[in-house]
Amino acid sequence: MKRAGRLLRLAPGFLAASVRRDWPLAGLALLGLAPGVAALVAWLQIAWRVRELSYSAAQFGWILPPALLDAVTPAGVLVGTGLVTLLVGCLGLSNAYLASVERRLDDLALLLSLGLSRLELTSLLLLEAMGLAALGTFFGVLLGLALSVVSWLPARDYLGLEPGFRLFFWPFVIGALAGLLATLLFVGVTGISTGLRPLSVLSLRPRKHWMRDWGQWRFSTLGILFTGVLTLLLGVLAVGWQAGVTLAILAVVLATLLNVGSWLLTRFYWRLPEPANWPLWALAVQGLARHRRQTAGMTLAMTAGALGVGLAALGWVSGDVPATFPLWVAAMLLVACASLVLTTSALAALERRQELGLLAALGARRSRVRGLILLENGIVAVAGGMLGAMLAVVAWSLVGSEASQTRAATVAAIALLDVMAALTTAWIGALPVLWLIARQPPAASLRDQPWLTG
């Protein structure tokens, strides 16, 4: 009871200080988490209507082969697409929260040295993460209600549902539970694991630890594990044991492939040539190499978004049914990807604010600084978009019954448009960061200030 009373006294001041220092996290919670929760709620509403119905390969065969479609069920496909959108948003929020915790390691180490126990520090960080979860989930559920309404007609035409729109109660409960649980796993656990390592910060020479040697893989491994757990729990609640287990296995396989592909592309960026006559390109390559976690996360988002958009577009040109609804699903995934790009760009600009301010102070035009950020995002978007488009073509050719009837030129055009969509998404997501950089004087960038608040 004594420890609980001290925690209750410490919590308001700790949370108030966190809000004052890292208030943009609240905005990132809305931008990253709310669209994912909204998509999951909306697609769960439709899944609740089709749980007992059967559909032909013309409607879902372009995304899964018949055997897997029978095991996962069409409702499971809808649940899975909503979860993918949610997880992309959580990835961006997780990156932002980890950056916030890492910037406060000195403060956390001081609290521990002054007598705060690890359990109390864990509780404070968990309260902080759950506050973000509650904020993003609340607005996500409200946005999911609106999305359920506006996407009803495309879903009804695509799936051939009976007229009569209605809302179900349990999709809202499961969507809210998913938002809270996903934030707890992806933001809370990883943030706490980082926040509980601050004692080494007090030493002049941090000790070498085997976990740091594979730090970039640690978060990917945890992400794959959490994806499987979250998909299993929500899949069982939404579509039953058999379909939920199959969906969880597919989610783990897909998450593993996307993570491995994103890290391979990240290592590829490091090996790009740096010609002396193009300094902007050299700076962009060096920036991508220095910020590996953000670069890998953005690459994963671009790959997943291009994969979803490519499958939807290929199903649209080759199917016999209206494909407006799959394009809605792909559009929500792109919104989540854009929010992740915004988070990644903001973090990269934050960590490099002194470098960017020095460039401006030395006479570099603001257009050059903005061009540097756009070039970095463009490299990642083109590489991730090409990988996602290639995976979409391969998956569609393996499971699509109309693949042999579609001309190669049409498939190539869709793949090209898919890459362009990824590039456009990356640049749109970076626009707020470019605006912040444009309004901040170089002298302010050279000072050690949190975020880009000026």
pLDDT single digits (tens) 362-385:
666 667 777 777 888 888 889 888
Burial 206-235 (b: 16+ CB within 10 A, else e): eeeeeeeeeeeeebbebbbebbbebbbbbb
> For 182-194, what is the mean pLDDT?
73
| Residue with tokens 């569609």, as numbered in its chain | 396
Between residues 171 and 428, which one has the greater pLDDT? 171
List the one residue out of 17, 33, 192 whose CA is nearest residue 102: 192
Question: Which of 25-34, 76-85, 201-210, 296-305 bottoms out in mean pLDDT, i.e. has the lowest?
Answer: 201-210
> For 211-225, what is the mean pLDDT?
60
Confidence of residue 55 (pLDDT cuts 50, 70, 90): low
Using only C-alpha atoms, the chain has a radius of gyration, in whole angstroms, of 23
Where does residue 21 rank: exposed (0-12), middle (13-18), buried (19+ CB within 10 A)?
middle
pLDDT single digits (tens) 64-113:
666 777 788 878 888 888 888 888 878 777 777 777 777 777 777 777 77
pTM over 0.95: no
Confidence of residue 405 (pLDDT cuts 50, 70, 90): low
For residue 442, what pLDDT is reported?
53
For residue 212, what pLDDT is reported?
42
Confidence of residue 288 (pLDDT cuts 50, 70, 90): confident
List the one residue out of 330, 311, 303, 308 whose CA is nearest residue 385: 303
pLDDT cut 70: percent of the chain above it? 74
Q: How far is CA 386 from CA 62, 299, 380, 382, in A?
A: 19, 11, 10, 6
List the one residue out of 454, 398, 365, 441 whose CA is nearest residue 68: 398
Between CA 420 and CA 375 the distance in angstroms is 14
For residue 318, what pLDDT is reported?
66
Burial 104-116 (b: 16+ CB within 10 A, else e): bbebbbebbeeeb
Q: How far is CA 8 from CA 47, 117, 121, 129, 132, in A?
A: 42, 14, 12, 16, 19
Residue 156 has pLDDT above 60, yes or no: yes
Question: Which of 101-105, 241-245, 445-449, 450-454 bottoms out in mean pLDDT, i.e. has the lowest?
Answer: 450-454
Residue 206 has pLDDT above 50, yes or no: no
Rounded to the nearest angstrom, the gap between the alpha carbon of residue 378 and the centroid of all alpha carbons in its chain is 18
Tokens (6 digits) for 332: 């929500």
Q: Which of 18-32, 165-179, 321-335 has the highest mean pLDDT?
A: 165-179
For residue 290, what pLDDT is reported?
74
Between residues 440 and 289, which one has the greater pLDDT? 289
Between residues 415 and 452, which one has the greater pLDDT? 415
Task: Break the chain into its structural domains and give their ranges.
Answer: 2-202+213-446
